[in-house]
Amino acid sequence: MSKSSQLFNKAKNLIPGGVNSPVRAFRSVNLDPLFIASGKGSKIKDADGNEYIDYVGSWGPLILGHAQDEILEAIRKAAEKGTSFGAPTEMEIQIAEKIIEMVPSVEMVRLVNSGTEATMSALRLARGYTGKNKMIKFEGCYHGHGDSFLIKAGSGALTLGEPNSPGVPADFARNTLTADFNNADSVEQIFKEYSDDIACVIVEPIAGNMGVIPPDKGFLEKLRQLCDHYKCILIFDEVMTGFRVHPGGAQAIYNITPDLTTMGKVIGGGLPVAAYGGKKEIMEQVSPAGPVYQAGTLSGNPLAVAAGLKTLEIISRPGYFDQLNKKALNFFKSTKNLIKKKGWPLSLNYVNSMGCLYFKAGGVSNFSDAIQSDTNKFADFFGQLIERGVYIAPSQFEAMFISSAHSEEDLDNTAKIIKSTLEKIL
Ligand SMILES: *Cc1c(COP(=O)(O)O)cnc(C)c1O
């Protein structure tokens, strides 16, 4: 038995399912998870000493790759000065300035420790600011594990939703309304029905938790218009897309100004940092400036902020995104051409350095398209890639991330492995 499988068996007695976050358990690909021993640059090594080219990147944060030298140095320097104070530090001002400079809609920002906290806090703020209760979200988008977000659509477009985890009171479902991604009409209908009690619309401007689904032309514009019309808050959940698809996030690509933005993943450079920010008038409602309560013992932690700030500085250097995107787009475009040439029943979606290969023909533009994918074929694909040293997320519905640590050689080798694997299994 491999060392990873031995460790997994041991972990299952101590940690629920053997993991500290469910998708890590490899359930949907019917394998034991790999236990990771180390990472450097584009590569990781498992507990058995096998090496992989890594396209998970800790689920998005590692845009610079693993154990990047400047990040390590920043963390080391910060650690020597003390790991936590629970008091303000100057670096928190620097990272706030940097975020505000980079993200067009953000005038004021509060740091938290995870994307889940960022979205929960942004939702509370939207409710506190508007005095309204309901939220519209989209089927297939993910906003962390807060109670209000773990609600799935009920049957029929206008009915209320239902909890998708035990432990979430059905009462929460009354305030969470679910629309279809890339379908602004479905949002408009909900607005018409509940117009006087909708506090906010929350959306991943590029959906990254049902694979990768870019917004159709006009979809985000229409959300902005509806929110203006009904005086409700538009929240862009850019926990995945922020500092990833563009230095200013998806909002800079599509040129839409949300009222609030949630950020995470890349913002911490691999350490736990997340944030929510937006219009000053709204953010000033957060305590202690205003009455909407939100707090955190380790928020703005010096090690985490040091890693995050250094990451934001590095990706702001001239040419950084041009180079990363060029490399990534070459890879995705040539894979897409190959699929077309071969006539394979696959769809490849991508935006700059994030992408998803769906085992489904004919394109994917919303949740109901995505779930038509052949997840058994995906599991075959995944298993073969692991055998051949390529590590992608163990689920059809996750993005793959290319980092600036991936070399042309890494990408060429990966393209070859993907091609021969697909030839074998399709
Ligand atoms: C990852 C993610 C979250 C949750 O962030 P955590 O740090 O895992 O709590 C929220 N929203 C989006 C869009 C994400 O991709």
CATH number of domain containing 281: 3.40.640.10
Domain residue limits at 174: 69-315
If asked whether residues 120 and 188 sit together in one domain, one would say: yes
**Cα(332)–Cα(339) distance, integer angstroms:** 11
pLDDT at 158 over 90: no
According to the model, what pLDDT value does residue 156 have?
Answer: 57
According to the model, what pLDDT value does residue 375 have?
Answer: 97
If asked whether residues 37 and 183 sit together in one domain, one would say: no
Q: How many domains does the chain have?
A: 2
Question: Which amino acid residue places its CA nearest to atom 6 of ligand 1?
Answer: 115
End residue of a domain, out of 273, 296, 315: 315
Q: Could you tell me if 175 and 162 are in contact, meaning their C-beta atoms sit under 8 angstroms apart?
A: no
- What atom of ligand 1 comes closest to residue 116's alpha carbon? 9
If asked whether residues 216 and 324 sit together in one domain, one would say: no
Q: Which burial class, exposed, middle or buried, applies to 306 when counting CB atoms under 10 A from its CB (0-12, 13-18, 19+)?
A: buried
If asked whether residues 276 and 354 sit together in one domain, one would say: no
Ligand 1 centroid–CA 207 distance in Å is 12
If asked whether residues 108 and 213 sit together in one domain, one would say: yes
Ligand 1 centroid–CA 59 distance in Å is 9
- Mutating to test ligand 1, I would choose from 19, 20, 21, 116 the residue with most ligand atoms within 8 A of its C-beta, which is 116
- Mutating to test ligand 1, I would choose from 24, 113, 120, 265 the residue with most ligand atoms within 8 A of its C-beta, which is 265
Least confident of 166-170, 218-222, 399-403: 166-170
If asked whether residues 123 and 153 sit together in one domain, one would say: yes
According to the model, what pLDDT value does residue 318 have?
Answer: 98
According to the model, what pLDDT value does residue 88 have?
Answer: 98
According to the model, what pLDDT value does residue 353 have?
Answer: 98
For the stretch 109-136, pLDDT in tens is 999 999 999 999 999 999 999 999 999 9
Ligand 1 centroid–CA 419 distance in Å is 31
Q: What percent of the chain has pLDDT over 70?
A: 99
Q: Could you tell me if 364 and 17 are in contact, meaning their C-beta atoms sit under 8 angstroms apart?
A: no
CATH code of 9's domain:
3.90.1150.10
Q: What angle do CA 306, 308, 309 make, to 5 degrees?
A: 65
If asked whether residues 23 and 78 sit together in one domain, one would say: no
User: Which listed residue (55, 129, 142, 276) is catalytic?
Assistant: 142
Q: Which burial class, exposed, middle or buried, applies to 179 when counting CB atoms under 10 A from its CB (0-12, 13-18, 19+)?
A: buried
63 Cβ neighbours under 8 A, 6+ residues apart:
57, 243, 244, 266, 311, 315, 324, 353, 401, 403, 404
For the stretch 2-22, pLDDT in tens is 999 999 999 999 999 999 999
Least confident of 96-100, 193-197, 290-294, 405-409: 193-197
If asked whether residues 52 and 78 sit together in one domain, one would say: no
| pTM score | 0.98
If asked whether residues 364 and 294 sit together in one domain, one would say: no
End residue of a domain, out of 284, 315, 346: 315
Question: Which amino acid residue places its CA nearest to atom 5 of ligand 1?
Answer: 115
If asked whether residues 238 and 98 sit together in one domain, one would say: yes
According to the model, what pLDDT value does residue 134 have?
Answer: 97
End residue of a domain, out of 315, 334, 369: 315
According to the model, what pLDDT value does residue 162 have?
Answer: 87
Residue 237 a catalytic site member: yes
For the stretch 313-337, pLDDT in tens is 999 999 999 999 999 999 999 999 9
If asked whether residues 284 and 181 sit together in one domain, one would say: yes
